[in-house]
Amino acid sequence: MHEQQVEMLEQRVKDLEGMIEELMKFIAVDGDNLSIRAKGNLSISGLNVSVAADACASVKGAASAELLASGQTTVKGAMVLIN
């Protein structure tokens, strides 16, 4: 009897892990102020990645920064300053 209960609990845990894995595909984070910080590298990737700001957007690299595309690259603005 005890062995059957353990097997049933193990199956329930597997089922819950599967449900959590499926839910993680649809996670959305919303709040007044959010911050993401990594002590190591931080990577964001997807089929298409979009970043939008209602006021100002800024990307900074302490040592260097790069904008790179294997196809057409477009920079638009009312005034574009380079250097």
Secondary structure letter of residue 22 according to DSSP: H
Residues 42, 36: contact at Cβ < 8 Å?
yes
pLDDT tens-place values along the chain, 83 residues long = 688 888 889 999 999 998 988 888 888 888 899 899 999 999 999 999 999 999 999 999 999 999 999 999 999 999 998 88
Q: What is the mean pLDDT of the chain?
A: 89
Secondary structure letter of residue 3 according to DSSP: H
Residues 6 or more apart whose CB falls under 8 angstroms from that of 36 comprise 42
pTM of the model: 0.54
**Alpha-carbon distance 71 to 69, whole Å?**
5
**Alpha-carbon distance 29 to 78, whole Å?**
32
Q: What is the pLDDT of residue 16?
A: 92
